[in-house]
Structure formats: C-alpha cells, structure tokens
C-alpha cells in the first residue's frame, strides 16, 4: 500500500518531491480510494475529526459551495456545522482564475480546500466527501491532494424522450453525477417517442407529442419553469445542462403534433416502438425553419451554457444532400441565437462551424472522416457506443439494456484512453467524454442506477484523471471502496463480478 502510494506520487507529480510519512492503513486506503483518481496525493500523519464544534468558513465566492458542504455533512453527522465568516475548521477559499482544479489539505487541526474558482472548490468538496467515513467516528486522515481535470467536458446523457423522468428523478441523477466530477448533463429532450419540453410557440409538441413513451408507458414533459429548475439545480452542482432536440431524424413526435411539418401535410400517428431512422423533418419547406427558429430561440433562453445539441444522428429518412443543407442551415440558426452547436458525429459530413463540437458514438476507433474534421479544428466529445454507452448490457444475463454495440463490462468501460482513442485525431481536438444512457428499456431511477453504476464512475475517471493514473487493478479497488457509499445512498448498482466489493 505504502509503496503504491509513493509510486503513484512519483509518476504523477512531475518534479515535486513527495515525502510519505508513516500513514496508517486506513489513511492510505482513504486516499487511494478517491475516484476519479486525483493528479497527486500525499498521506500524512494524524487525522481531523468532525465533531459538534466544527465550523465551516467560506471566503468570498465560496458561499454556495460552503452551503452545499454544510448540508451534506449535517445530514450525515447530525452536527450543526455553522458557516462562519472568520477562520473556520473547514476553510473554503476561492483564489481567482480559470482552473477547475483544487488543493485539499487535511491536518489534525483543519481542513482547507482552495481553488481558483467555485467549480474547482466544488470538485474538492467531492474529494473531501470521499475521505469522510460512511459512519462515525467522522475522522478524516491527514494528507494533501493536488488535482485538476484532464478534460473540460465530462458528460453524462440521459434520454428522457424514450421514457420520461420527472424533475426529482433527474435531480437525483444530477447528485449522483456530481460525486464523480461530471460537469455536463446532456438531456435528450425529443425523439420519435416523445417531446419533453414545453415550447410556448408550438405547445402541442409537449401536450400531444409528449403524451407517449416506449411501450405505451406514461409520457410527460417539463414546463419551462420545471426545466429552469433542473438547469438551476444542475448549476448549483457545477453541472451545465446541454439540451438536445434531435433532428432532422428522430422527430416523429413533432411530426405527429403539427401536420404542416410533414412534406405531405399529413401528421403520422404517435409512435411507441423502438425503431430508429424512419422519420425526417421536411427539409424543403420554409415552415421547418420557422419552427426550428422558434424552438431554438426558446431553448437558448432556457440554457445557461454555450451549447445546444441538435442531434443529427441516424437521419436515414433524409437524403445526404438534404442532410448537409439542413445541418448547415440549422447551425446558423443556433449561432443566430448566440449558442454553439453540439451534434452527433455525422455532422462532420456537413460543414461544421469552427465552434461546432462532434459527439462521436461509433464503435470503431478508426473513422477517417471524423479524424479529418478533428484535424481541421472540429472539437470531439467521445462516446464510443461499445465502451461508453450505459444502455449496453454488461453480460448476456443483464435484464435491462441493448447489445447492438456489444456487451460492456466495467473493464471495457474503463479500458481505453480518450486521448489516444481516435486514430489520426490531434489530442487537442479531444474535448472530453460523455456516457449516454438511452432509455428504451429503462423506466425507473433504479433502472438508471443499475446501468450507470458502476460504469459511469469509470467514464468519469477517464474524463478527469491523468492518463498516468489509469490502472485497472487500482481502479477496481477505488470502485469497490465506493460501494458502502452507494449502499448508504440507496443506489441500485450492478455488483459486477469483476470488482472486489466489500461485504
């Protein structure tokens, strides 16, 4: 254990010299259990104990994170943990700057977390949480963590179109994502089976197009007030919501809601099956672009972050010439409303704008067209379906999910390097990773959790941790160490036989 710690420090710490005191076994375990693995850790002698007198101090810009931390610690310990202005026992400091990194120091007298900005402080708080035991005594081993993310885009996608999930269910998932330093929640808001966001200028999209789900299950949609609540909740966890309206395919719910959107003026029936690639917006009709201008304007106004996702995948019912014209025109509409485009990687077959990001979902690491776009400046977010899709089955017996991209055990989800994955893509083009959860077979929060845990933490680590920390044996132990927390939180995780779960 000690040797591994020293080795990890030397590998990842560059020039700094790490002195390892004589940590207890528990201290070593706590710091090697941090997931995603930090850039560097140093275990020291001693421990800080949270008790009924412990205070939290928030420097300027740290109030929100301090309130969040106090809420968590009050809930688990039952202590008052007041937030004080002057010096406190757990001190949170924002120093100014743009890094998402943080420094965490634990001594027997104090805990300090400092970061250039609040997002980094929040990441440091997630690390501190993992150092606090699941049960009393609330003793945090002394040590130092210096950390910063490898990639800026560390995403999870939830498909609320195939099945609808309530605000409370989405917020529950947001809290689970935040623990693993995910900073983007991509919501797949519309597909053939349902339209899930009220668009005031086209209300039937939600009231009619949102009334169905796969298999005849109940539909639903978010009012704009509810959607704002999700966005604000995510923001309070330093997660940016990226809304997706998939187009020009995956649009049956919209076509069913408004006959004029169809080339023949006839609305198709609502759809509750699971086929893909059969619907298309009418690329040649001007009403299509008035419709999209309205939808994108309303969505842009609801969106705090820079990106709107316009889908663009599996447009098998749209000719390639129409697809190119359509994607180029819609990129312009998004830009006119002050946002940037995220789209599935087929967008590279049109003309991606300099600010457009392509989300790669194919199952091969060799895609010359995407690599060429990346070499030309298109940023790429990696979601290879055979590695990062959370709706793939773990093994043939998995009761939920699909297997068209293969079976994805934990070792598959963890066993690749986003930085070198896509043959021919310059490393700077890779903006990060995203773990999509499509929900054709997913109906409850317990289902979401079964598919996301433990693979989501694997993808989260690939997004956050330096390549030098990638190590399957160590990752297995880090993951196993999370199980008591998941049990305490009621997370319905898949007990993969690959992981040495504690009893």
Q: Is 361 one of the binding residues for ligand TNX (CB under 6 A)?
A: yes
Q: Does 450 bind ligand TNX (CB under 6 A)?
A: no
- Of 135-143, 203-211, 320-328, 383-391, the segment contacting ligand TNX by CB under 6 A is 383-391
Q: Please report where in the chains the tokens 């809304």 appear, as a residue.
A: 243
Cβ closer to ligand TNX: 31 or 344?
344
**How far, CA to CA in Å, does 211 sit from each of 170, 257, 311?**
19, 10, 21
- Would you give the binding string for ligand TNX spanning residues 247-286, x where CB under 6 A is met? -----------------------------x----------
Catalytic residue from among 171, 314, 440, 449: 314
Helix H or strand E encompassing 90: strand 90-94
- Which residue number, 120 or 249, has a Cβ lying nearer to ligand TNX? 249
Rounded CA separation 377/357 (Å): 9
Site pattern 64..103 for ligand TNX (x: CB under 6 A): ----------------------------------------
Exposed / middle / buried, residue 16 (Cβ in 10 Å: 0-12, 13-18, 19+): exposed
CB of 385 to ligand TNX, least distance (A): 6
Report whether 6 contacts 18 (CB < 8 A): yes
Smallest gap from residue 56 Cβ to ligand TNX (A)? 43
CB of 452 to ligand TNX, least distance (A): 14
Closest to 322 (Cα-Cα) out of 369, 288, 275 = 288
- 221 near ligand TNX, rule: CB under 6 A: no
Position 493 contacts ligand TNX (CB under 6 A)? no
Which residues ranging from 148 to 167 are in contact with ligand TNX (CB under 6 A)? Answer: none
DSSP H helices in 198-259: 204-207, 224-236, 252-257
Q: CB 314 → ligand TNX: shortest distance, Å?
A: 6
* CA neighbor of 486 nearest in space, from 457, 444, 465: 457
The residue (of 192 and 449) whose beta carbon lies closer to ligand TNX is: 192
CB-nearer residue toward ligand TNX: 113 or 408: 408
The only residue of 63, 171, 314, 403 in contact with ligand TNX, by rule CB under 6 A? 314
Smaller CB separation from ligand TNX, 100 or 434:
434
**Segment interacting with ligand TNX, rule: CB under 6 A, options 73-81, 288-296, 372-380, 384-392:** 384-392
Beta carbon of residue 448, minimum distance to ligand TNX (angstroms, whole number): 14
Please state the closest distance from residue 453 (CB atom) to ligand TNX, in A: 18
Residue 233 has φ and ψ, to the nearest 5°, of: -65, -45
Closer CB to ligand TNX, 319 or 363, in the complex: 363
Q: What single DSSP character describes residue 429? A: G
314 is catalytic: yes
Q: How far is CA 236 from CA 478, 485, 491, in A?
A: 26, 22, 21
Nearer Cβ to ligand TNX (43/157) = 157
CB of 374 to ligand TNX, least distance (A): 18
First to last CA, the chain: 21
Is residue 438 part of the contact set for ligand TNX (CB under 6 A)?
yes
Name beta bridge partners: 392.
402
Residues in 393-422 at the binding interface with ligand TNX, rule: CB under 6 A: 402
Query: What DSSP designation does 38 have?
Result: P
Q: What are phi and psi for residue 359, nearest 5 degrees?
A: -100, 115
Q: Which stretch binds ligand TNX (CB under 6 A): 38-46, 124-132, 179-187, 385-393?
A: 385-393
Residue list 20-49, contact with ligand TNX (CB under 6 A): none
β-pairing, 340-344 with 83-84? unpaired
Is 498 exposed, middle or buried (CB count within 10 Å of its CB: 0-12, 13-18, 19+)?
middle
Closest CA to 355 of 411, 308, 394, 395: 308
Toward ligand TNX, which CB reaches closer, 30 or 189? 189
C-alpha–C-alpha distance, residues 225 and 125, integer Å: 29
Min CB(177)–ligand TNX separation in Å: 20
| 147 or 391: CB nearest ligand TNX | 391
Among 221, 344, 450, 475, binds ligand TNX (CB under 6 A): 344
DSSP 267: P
| Among residues 89, 147, 313, 449, the one that binds ligand TNX under rule CB under 6 A | 313
Minimal distance, residue 116 CB to ligand TNX, in Å: 35
Q: DSSP letters of 273-308?
A: S---S-----TT-HHHHHHHHHHHHHHHHH--SSEE
Strand ranges of the sheet holding 83-84, from the earlier edge strand across to the other edge: 40-49, 139-147, 102-106, 111-115, 90-94, 56-58, 83-84
CB distance 292 to 333 below 8 Å: yes
Per-state percent for the chain, helix, strand, coil, to nearest 5: 35, 20, 45
Task: Decide: is 391 part of the binding site for ligand TNX (CB under 6 A).
Answer: yes
Strand partners, 342: 309, 357
Count of residues touching ligand TNX (by CB under 6 A): 11
The residues annotated with a catalytic role in the active site are 314
Residues contributing to the site for ligand TNX (CB under 6 A): 276, 313-314, 344, 361, 385, 389, 391, 402, 438, 440
């Amino acid at each position: 254990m000690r040797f591994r710690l020293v080795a990890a420090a030397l590998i990842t710490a560059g020039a700094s010299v790490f002195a390892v005191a004589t940590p207890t076994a528990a201290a070593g375990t706590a710091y090697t259990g941090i997931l995603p693995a930090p850039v560097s850790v140093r275990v020291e002698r001693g421990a800080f104990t949270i008790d009924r007198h412990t205070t939290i101090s928030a420097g300027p810009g740290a109030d929100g994170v301090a309130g969040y931390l106090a809420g968590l610690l009050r809930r688990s310990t039952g202590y008052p943990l007041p937030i004080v202005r002057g010096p406190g026992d757990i001190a949170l400091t924002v120093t100014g700057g743009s890094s998402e990194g943080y420094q965490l120091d634990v001594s027997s007298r104090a805990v300090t977390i400092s970061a250039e900005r609040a997002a980094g402080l929040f990441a440091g708080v997630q690390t501190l949480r993992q150092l606090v035991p699941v049960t009393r005594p609330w003793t945090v081993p002394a040590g130092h963590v210096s950390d910063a993310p490898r990639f800026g885009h560390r995403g999870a996608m939830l498909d609320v179109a195939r099945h609808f999930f309530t605000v409370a269910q989405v917020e529950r998932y947001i809290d689970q994502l935040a623990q693993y330093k995910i900073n983007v929640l991509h919501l797949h808001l519309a597909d053939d089976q349902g339209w899930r966001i009220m668009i005031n200028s086209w209300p039937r999209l939600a009231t009619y197009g949102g009334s169905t789900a796969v298999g005849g299950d109940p539909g639903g949609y978010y009012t704009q007030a509810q959607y704002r609540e999700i966005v604000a909740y995510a923001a309070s966890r330093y997660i940016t919501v990226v809304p997706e309206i998939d187009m020009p395919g995956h649009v049956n719910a919209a076509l069913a809601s408004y006959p004029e959107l169809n080339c023949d003026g006839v609305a198709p029936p609502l759809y509750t099956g699971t086929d893909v690639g059969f619907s298309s917006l009418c690329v040649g009709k001007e009403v299509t672009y008035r419709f999209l201008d309205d939808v994108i304007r309303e969505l842009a106004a609801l969106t705090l972050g820079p990106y709107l996702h316009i889908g663009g995948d599996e447009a098998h019912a749209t000719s390639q010439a129409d697809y190119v014209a359509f994607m180029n025109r819609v990129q312009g509409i998004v830009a006119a409303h002050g946002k940037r485009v995220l789209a599935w990687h087929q967008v590279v077959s049109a003309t991606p704008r300099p600010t457009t990001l392509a989300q790669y979902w194919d199952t091969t690491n060799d895609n010359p067209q995407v690599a060429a776009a990346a070499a030309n400046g298109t940023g790429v977010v990696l979601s290879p379906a055979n590695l990062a899709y959370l709706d793939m089955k773990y093994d043939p017996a998995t009761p939920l999910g699909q297997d068209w991209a293969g079976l994805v055990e934990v070792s598959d989800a963890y066993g690749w390097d986003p930085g070198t994955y896509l043959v021919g893509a310059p490393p700077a083009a890779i903006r990060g990773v995203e773990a999509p959860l499509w929900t054709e077979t997913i109906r409850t929060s317990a289902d979401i959790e079964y598919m996301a845990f433990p693979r989501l933490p694997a993808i989260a680590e690939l997004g956050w941790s330096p390549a030098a920390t990638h190590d399957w044996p160590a990752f297995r132990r880090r993951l196993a160490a999370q199980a008591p927390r998941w049990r305490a939180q009621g997370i319905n995780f898949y007990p993969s036989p690959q992981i040495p779960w504690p009893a």
